[in-house]
């Protein structure tokens, strides 16, 4: 990506967050907006900073264990120093220090889930999330204190991190709290632009400067050691596995429904194929009945050609189409009418048919005879299987 997005989720988020975008040349564009309106580029995976007051960072002695086993032991190694139940907390660890100690960050699972949900609702995919104290620049042999609003972020060395209310800065940095044998010296960076930086009792202020809040955090992130809170259950891959576990049953049900749907489609296709084969056989049979002795290749095209030849053979005399056009509406209304054979020769249309009864046959003959220029005659009518079989001859010239 050509740019990198930084977001600070302060106490007013998501209604108001601080953001900064750094380009390849190190130029910073920053501002404060609702989280949903933070400018971004497609594919941005922002670096997210959260309030240091929500994350406790300590260093612990390593009892000879490493790797995954050590991470699983962190809650019990820190249990005596924690107020909340370990099941309610998330633990993330950084690199082992030179003195063999391990920096550990502790944060409420509920709070971490809230931040991630907030970011997801804004359409942001997060790979890195750290406390803002880890983005405070390191000053040689002294504290760096970042004043923002009513709070402060302070850092000494790699992993001595504190955060709290600005009015209590002196209590946090008191020699009795930090190191009784060493004087406390601090460099104060005032992001409030008030010009009234505090001078905490017992703390020697080596320098004071004003700076833009996000500019300092970006500088510290790029120059100071930090580690990601998104570890273990909250690592990106683990979050996808957790989502997959939660959706396991619905996904299985959806898969079963998809298989059933595919099976039904396959069965429908097989049925339609069989129906198409049956209809094709019936079309071939009908064509051969109408034109005995013919070779069937494409019955539809051949039927059209035959009918066109018949229609064009004698346009001045009554033709098949003339008769058919006049009789078709009448046969369509006859009850139980079923055509078996149709022959046309010498302007005469012969039909071998089945019909419901003799009365219906007589009525059909009468109706055909009343049609303009048509005459109808019944031949060979007989009753069989509850139906009447008959030959009906229709011709013109009446």
Structure confidence by residue, pLDDT tens digits, 343-358: 887 778 888 888 888 8
Q: Which helix (H) or strand (E) holds 349?
A: strand 348-355
CA–CA dist 109, 193 (Å, integer): 35
Average pLDDT over residues 157-169: 86
The percent of residues above 70 in pLDDT, for the chain, comes to: 82
User: Cα-atom radius of gyration of the chain, to the nearest Å?
Assistant: 46
Confidence band (pLDDT; 50, 70, 90) for 232?
confident
- Which pLDDT belongs to residue 55? 92
Confidence band (pLDDT; 50, 70, 90) for 50?
very high
Q: Which helix (H) or strand (E) holds 347?
A: none
Over 60: is that where the pLDDT of 175 sits?
no
The 3 state secondary structure assigned to 193-240 is: CCCCCCCCCCEEEEEEEECCHHHHHHHHHHHCCCCCCCCHHHCHHHHH
DSSP 8-state code for residue 314: -
The DSSP code sequence of 41-107 is -TT---EEEE-GGGEEEEEEE--S--HHHHHHHHHHHHGGG-SS-GGGEEEEE-PPPTTSEEEEEEE
Higher pLDDT, 229 or 167: 229
Higher pLDDT, 184 or 22: 22
CA–CA dist 38, 58 (Å, integer): 32
Over 60: is that where the pLDDT of 159 sits?
yes
Mapping DSSP to helix (H, G, I), strand (E, B) and coil, where does residue 19 land?
strand
Contacts 24+ apart (CB under 8 A), 173-182: 173/143, 173/145, 173/200, 173/202, 173/203, 174/201, 174/202, 174/203, 175/202
pTM: 0.56
- Which pLDDT belongs to residue 240? 54
Average pLDDT over residues 48-53: 93
- Which pLDDT belongs to residue 176? 46
Confidence band (pLDDT; 50, 70, 90) for 218?
very high
What does the block give as tokens for 107?
A: 């944060």
Confidence band (pLDDT; 50, 70, 90) for 155?
very high
What does the block give as tokens for 66?
A: 């490493």
- Which pLDDT belongs to residue 304? 77
Confidence band (pLDDT; 50, 70, 90) for 242?
low
- Which pLDDT belongs to residue 141? 82
Confidence band (pLDDT; 50, 70, 90) for 113?
very high
Confidence band (pLDDT; 50, 70, 90) for 316?
very low
DSSP 8-state code for residue 35: G
- Which pLDDT belongs to residue 51? 93
Average pLDDT over residues 292-296: 76
Over 60: is that where the pLDDT of 387 sits?
yes
Mapping DSSP to helix (H, G, I), strand (E, B) and coil, where does residue 328 land?
helix
- Which pLDDT belongs to residue 253? 84
The DSSP code sequence of 111-178 is HHHHHHHHHHHTT---SEEEEGGGGSPPBTTBEEEEEETTEEEEEETTTEEEEEEGGGHHHHT-TTTS
89-93 and 101-108 strand pairing: antiparallel
**Considering the chain, what is the average pLDDT of its residues?**
81
Average pLDDT over residues 84-92: 81
- 344 Cβ neighbours under 8 A, 6+ residues apart: 310, 320, 323, 350
CA–CA dist 62, 214 (Å, integer): 35
């Amino acid at each position: 990506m050509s740019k990198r997005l930084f977001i600070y989720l302060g106490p007013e988020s998501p209604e108001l967050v601080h953001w900064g975008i750094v380009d390849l040349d190190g130029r910073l564009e920053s501002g404060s907006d609702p989280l949903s309106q933070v400018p971004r580029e497609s594919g941005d995976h922002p670096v997210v900073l959260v309030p240091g007051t929500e994350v406790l960072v300590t260093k612990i002695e390593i009892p000879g264990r490493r790797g995954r086993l050590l991470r699983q032991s962190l809650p019990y190694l820190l249990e005596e120093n924690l107020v909340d139940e370990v099941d309610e907390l998330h633990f993330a660890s950084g690199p082992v220090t030179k003195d063999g100690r391990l920096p550990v960050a502790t944060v409420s699972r509920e709070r971490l889930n809230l931040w991630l949900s907030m970011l997801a609702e804004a359409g942001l995919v997060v790979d890195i999330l750290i406390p803002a104290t880890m983005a405070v620049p390191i000053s040689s042999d002294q504290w760096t204190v970042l004043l923002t609003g009513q709070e402060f972020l302070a850092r000494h060395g790699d992993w001595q991190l504190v955060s709290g209310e600005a009015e209590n800065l002196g209590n946090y940095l008191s020699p009795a709290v930090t190191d009784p044998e060493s004087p406390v010296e601090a460099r104060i960076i005032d992001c409030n632009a008030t010009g009234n930086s505090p001078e905490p009792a017992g703390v020697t202020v080596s320098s004071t400067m004003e700076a833009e809040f996000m500019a300092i955090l970006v500088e510290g992130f790029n120059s100071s050691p930090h580690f990601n809170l998104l570890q273990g259950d909250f690592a990106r891959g683990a979050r996808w596995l957790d989502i997959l576990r939660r959706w396991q049953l619905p996904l299985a049900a959806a898969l079963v429904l998809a298989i059933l749907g595919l099976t039904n489609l396959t069965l429908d296709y097989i049925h339609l194929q069989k129906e198409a084969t049956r209809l094709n056989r019936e079309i071939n049979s009908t064509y051969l009945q109408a034109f005995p002795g013919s070779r069937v290749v494409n019955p539809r095209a051949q039927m059209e050609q035959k009918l066109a030849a018949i229609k064009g053979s004698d346009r001045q005399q009554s033709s098949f189409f003339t008769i058919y056009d006049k009789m078709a509406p009448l046969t369509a209304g006859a009850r139980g009418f079923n055509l078996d054979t149709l022959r046309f020769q010498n302007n005469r249309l012969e039909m071998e048919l089945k019909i419901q009864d003799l009365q219906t046959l007589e009525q059909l003959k009468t109706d055909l005879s009343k049609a303009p220029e048509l005459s109808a005659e019944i031949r060979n009518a007989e009753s069989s299987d509850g139906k009447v079989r008959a030959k009906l001859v229709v011709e013109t010239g009446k």
